[in-house]
Structure 1
Amino acid sequence: MGQRILVVDDEMLVAMMLEDMLADLGYEVVGPASNLNDAMEYASNEELHCAILDLNLGRGVLSTPVAEVLKARGVPFLLATGYGANAQTDALGHAGLLGKPFSTGDVEDALKSLLG
């Protein structure tokens, strides 16, 4: 199997689409996690090469705590958001951005840039 990528998105259809895209690109998907508790569990305990995090997990919950765990573990991540460049916060550091809506090509390019 390929590199392991954590997917965190509260929208089931988006998560399933991203899961399919990643599988088509040869990556192994961890999750997807649709809520903060599951995302924190995966981010803390799974072997990961990187992650794709939806910034807004609904009801005012942000994925910032997940990003902090990933940063502490040295796991790079992309921030998937429709908010554009305004989405980055100091807490998220130098996370790459993956603008919504995205295509398989967008995901592939973003991951190549992130993972080298």
Structure 2
Amino acid sequence: MPNREHKHRILVVEDEAIISMLIEDMVSDCGGEIVGPAAKFDDALALAREAEFGVAVLDLNLRGTLSYPIAEVIRGRGIPVIFATGYGADGLLDKFKDCPTLQKPFSQKDFAQAIDAVRH
């Protein structure tokens, strides 16, 4: 279980620069600290394995590569994952259906609610 000081560190994996910047602003507005952001699968996987964070927000589709292997590493560390996707919860593999999903485009309020839900 991540310790308290890492709970407000949020790993952001998003391949669209504009969306990544919006999410960074949302993290800051929630009082969080960004880990990353990572736009490339390999960079995200390295952060998933090594970085200290309490929550991860993953774009499901990184330039045609699905981020499930990244999510598996993160969940294996006992850290919650939130998927950000245009496909919605119905687009997730069954073994990830328990992960919260942010339907793109999402609001600051939706983001804050998802983060709060996994922190408790």
Q: Which category of TM-score, normalised to the shorter sequence, fits these structures?
A: over 0.9
Give the total of aligned pairs: 115
Residue 83 of structure 1 pairs with residue 76 of structure 2 = no
CA contact (8 A) 1:64 1:91 kept: no
- Aligned-pair RMSD on alpha carbons? 1.4
Residues of 2 paired with 1:75 and 1:26: CA distance?
19
The alpha-carbon deviation at position 12 of structure 1 amounts to: 0.6
Residue 3 of structure 1 pairs with residue 8 of structure 2 = yes
Residue 65 of structure 1 pairs with residue 69 of structure 2 = yes
Q: What does residue 27 of structure 1 align with?
A: 32
Q: Which moved more, 1:82-91 or 1:101-110?
A: 82-91
SS in 2 for 1:106: helix
Residues of 2 paired with 1:57 and 1:30: CA distance?
17
The alpha-carbon deviation at position 93 of structure 1 amounts to: 5.0
Residues of 2 paired with 1:107 and 1:81: CA distance?
12
Q: What does residue 41 of structure 2 align with?
A: 36
Q: What does residue 56 of structure 2 align with?
A: 51
Specify every segment of 5 or more residues in structure 2 that has no aligned partner in the other structure, as ranges: none
- Name the % identity: 45
CA contact (8 A) 1:9 1:34 kept: yes
Aligned match of 1:105 in 102, 105, 109? Answer: 109
TM-score, normalised by the number of residues in structure 1: 0.93
Residues of 1 paired with 2:38 and 2:13: CA distance?
5
CA contact (8 A) 1:98 1:110 kept: yes
Specify every segment of 5 or more residues in structure 1 that has no aligned partner in the other structure, as ranges: none
